[in-house]
Chains A and B, each alone.
Chain A
Amino acid sequence: MTSILEVEQLDTLSSNASSTLTIGGTNTSNVTFKSGVNFSGIIQGITEADQWRLNTSFSGDATPIASNLERVDNASFGYIGTGMSQSSGIFTFPSTGIYKIDFFLQVQRNVADDSQIFGEILVTTDNSSYTAAAYALYGSNYANQRLTVATSYFFDVTNTSTHKVRFDVTSNAGNNTVVGNTDINQTFMNFIRLGDT
């Protein structure tokens, strides 16, 4: 038996302290909306997406990459939400949630020395001790070779004061250049909030 409730507005009781309106109960397994219904006031999809890059090249190590970072600022660029903030290479999240963090590292080998270069995503949950969460590795024995490596991590940010991320580059030789560019993304980081924590 189908029953139809036709009303203009659903509202909580004035005595409802939490002001939470619940649709469905113990017998509910599906809620269906008419196809094509438009919603307003509902935050849908991705609420935070940001992209930063290294704007100046350097050679050797950086633990972390602490300077010459900028939010991508090309005329066609856009980001969603508040965006990340950064100080001395320590990135702070705008809100709690599960974040996908990508690190793309472009490296130029200057000498054929068979060295290895690591690009690491390091996270902290106490705003102090950082641990490696993901790393990309580049090793070869060719000089004047430029290559991009990437790594990624899903970070559960339950507290924006304590949960931070940084990006390190280390190598077992100093004969490499991490390529930065202020016009084109070459070494860069993505931050995308996937959902709630």
Chain B
Amino acid sequence: MKPENLEDYLVSLHTGQWFGWSDSKNKVYANLIIHDSSKTKPTEQECIDGLAQLQADYDQAIIDREARKASAKAKLEALGLTTEEIKEAFGI
């Protein structure tokens, strides 16, 4: 699933229950609390940039996957397989 919010970024930073919210109904940076004192609270800008990077990585991964599928399909067609045979055998 595509990263959508601040929590998606925080989960990717460290493992375990190192953070939480002072108001779980309003998960904004101002309500971010750190449970694990060994972890440093990221800045708000780090969170914004980090989430943007996660989203970009996710989008790029989809583009890459589609490109690999297209490449594989083209190579299979070059070998003489029909579109139907490729779909039946490989699902692409």
Asked if A and B are interacting partners, one says yes
In the complex, what distance in Å separates the CA atom of A61 from the CA atom of B11?
12
Binds B, one of A35-43, A64-72, A130-138: A64-72
In the complex, what distance in Å separates the CA atom of A65 from the CA atom of B35?
12
Name the residue on B nearest A143 (C-beta).
B61
B20 touches A68 (CB 8 A): yes
Q: Does residue A141 face the partner (Cβ distance < 8 Å to B)?
A: no
Q: Does residue B38 face the partner (Cβ distance < 8 Å to A)?
A: no
Q: Does residue A108 face the partner (Cβ distance < 8 Å to B)?
A: yes
B1 touches A108 (CB 8 A): yes
**Chain B count of residues within 8 A CB distance of the other chain:** 17
Report if A60-B7 is in contact (Cβ < 8 Å); known contacts: A67-B20, A67-B35, A144-B1: no
Q: Residue A66 contacts which of B8, B14, B15, B17 (CB distance < 8 angstroms)?
A: B17
What is the minimal beta-carbon distance from A182 to any residue of chain B, in angstroms?
4
A174 touches B17 (CB 8 A): no
Q: Which B residues are in CB contact (< 8 Å) with A67?
A: 17, 20, 35
Q: Which B residues are in CB contact (< 8 Å) with A108?
A: 1
Q: Does residue A153 face the partner (Cβ distance < 8 Å to B)?
A: no
In the complex, what distance in Å separates the CA atom of A177 from the CA atom of B1?
11
Q: Which A residues are in CB contact (< 8 Å) with B8?
A: 57
Q: Residue B11 contacts which of A57, A70, A182, A183 (CB distance < 8 angstroms)?
A: A57
Q: Residue B19 contacts which of A56, A61, A65, A70 (CB distance < 8 angstroms)?
A: A56
A70 touches B24 (CB 8 A): yes
What is the minimal beta-carbon distance from B9 to any residue of chain A, in angstroms?
11
Residues 13-69 (chain A) with a chain B CB within 8 angstroms? 55-62, 65-68
Residues 4-48 (chain B) with a chain A CB within 8 angstroms? 7-8, 11-12, 14-21, 24-25, 27, 35
Q: Residue A58 contacts which of B17, B24, B25 (CB distance < 8 angstroms)?
A: B17
Q: Which A residues are in CB contact (< 8 Å) with B15?
A: 58-61, 174
In the complex, what distance in Å separates the CA atom of A144 from the CA atom of B2?
9
Q: Which B residues are in CB contact (< 8 Å) with A66?
A: 17
What is the minimal beta-carbon distance from A69 to any residue of chain B, in angstroms?
10
What is the minimal beta-carbon distance from B10 to any residue of chain A, in angstroms?
8
Q: Which A residues are in CB contact (< 8 Å) with B24?
A: 55-56, 68, 70, 182
What is the minimal beta-carbon distance from A162 to any residue of chain B, in angstroms?
26
Q: Which residues of A contact B (CB under 8 A)?
A: 55-62, 65-68, 70, 108, 144, 146, 174, 177, 182-183
Q: List 17 A-B contacts (CB under 8 A).
A: A55-B21, A56-B20, A56-B21, A57-B7, A57-B11, A58-B16, A58-B17, A58-B18, A60-B15, A60-B16, A61-B16, A62-B16, A62-B17, A65-B17, A67-B35, A68-B24, A144-B1
Top-3 shortest CB links A-B: A60-B15, A182-B24, A55-B24
